[in-house]
Amino acid sequence: MCATRVSAETLKAFEPIGSLPDARLDEIAGLCQLETVARNSDPFLVRSVSGQAVYLLRGELVLTYPDGTSKVLVGGSERSRYPLAQRGEVFTSAKAVTDVELVRVDDDLLDVMATWAASVESRSKKTAKEGSALANWSMMSGMFSVSSLKYGAFSQLPPAHIEDLLQRFERVPVTKGDVVIREGAEGDFYFLIESGRCKVERMVGGVSMLLAELKSGDAFGEEALVSDVKRNATVTMKSDGALLKLAKKDFVELLREPLLHRVSADEARAKIAGGAQWIDVRYPSEYQYDKLPGAINIPLAEIRNAFGAGALDKGKEYVLYCQSERRSAAAAFLMAQRGYRAFVLAGGLWGEAKRR
């Protein structure tokens, strides 16, 4: 038995996965496998179908059912377009009549994507009926990627919030040179880039320093809303495009509170003992002065850069801290919306000091 990656074109033959947009299929293809099984073997002896949607792509497979009856399933047939062991068909054994190829997809992943697809379709129909500009949610990358919907921030949203969230975003056309948010201003909106590019700059010693460049699918503006502070950078469009903005009260209700996970000092220490990693998001000078044992330093301003540098592991838990939890909450949100398992030390180091 051997396994390789499956192509998006292959997935189009299956239901319900084949009804998803091409961009989504490209992403999902990277999260499922094409498995080859030799003739006369039991394809499910080592790996069962539990928790997975398993499709027969090629070859012939004989399935035996609890009542003793058997059925031969042929790859490429109408029945093979649907997952095995679903639609009420529970088999007790299986045998490959010929060499066969199976495609395995995580069941929960399919359910998440079906839920979002239905919400997007509903929102699209409503928007078209109203005659307003339509945000192309189905093509969104970055924050609305398959990985984020399954493992990241949006995987933790209550299903009832999904369509509500999509409805509350407002689409805003922008042109090159537009200043979307200005350093020092109050935080009022959370932004997602539908199309176009922008730059993030901060004044340091009277000089404007480039912090990051953002593209379609990236989000910004969350730091001021999560931490309840003024804007700490200026964001300017580098090209024409379109933004999706979410008002602060909607952001707090539908995103911030469901996604921020605070842990007590005792809970944090238990996680660290279990293999989690402390991240100090303060400035290096603060970190050097009173860092926690074993902590690594990734200042809030550099968190975005850490995503692309491969410095963080999505299979690992992280407990973030700062003085008050303001900066650590903002950093944890940034991490969570990209699929990292991030927790915030409640009250920060100040809270820890009070508890001693």
The secondary structure element, H or E, covering residue 247 is: strand 241-247
| Residue 174 CB neighbours (<10 A) | 21
| Least confident range of 10-19, 50-59, 118-127, 161-170 | 118-127
Residue 80 gets which letter from DSSP?
Answer: G
CB 208 within 8 A of CB 179: no
**Three-state DSSP class for 286?**
helix
Q: Structure pTM?
A: 0.63
The whole-angstrom separation of Cα 146 and Cα 32 is 12
The CA distances from residue 301 to 46, 47, 110, 220, in Å, are 46, 44, 35, 12
Which residue out of 2, 32, 198, 322 is catalytically annotated?
Answer: 322
Highest average pLDDT, of 26-40, 199-213, 269-283, comes from 269-283
- Residue 278 pairs with which residues in a beta bridge? 319
pLDDT over 90 at 21, yes or no: no
Please choose, from the candidates 92, 94, 95, 97, the residue with its C-alpha nearest in 3D space to the C-alpha of residue 65.
Answer: 92
CB 76 within 8 A of CB 58: yes
Rounded to an integer, the average pLDDT of 166-187 is 93
Locate 58 and state its tokens. 């090629």
| pLDDT tens digits along 54-84 | 999 999 999 998 888 999 999 999 989 988 8
Q: Name the pairing type of β-strands 60-64 and 93-96.
A: antiparallel
Asked about 322 being catalytic, the answer comes back as yes
Q: How confident is the model at residue 134 (pLDDT cuts 50, 70, 90)?
A: very low
pLDDT of residue 131: 47
| pLDDT tens digits along 281-340 | 999 999 999 999 999 999 988 888 888 778 899 889 999 999 998 899 989 988 887 778
Under the phi-then-psi rule, with left for phi > 0, alpha for psi from -120 to 50, and beta for the rest, what region is 68? left
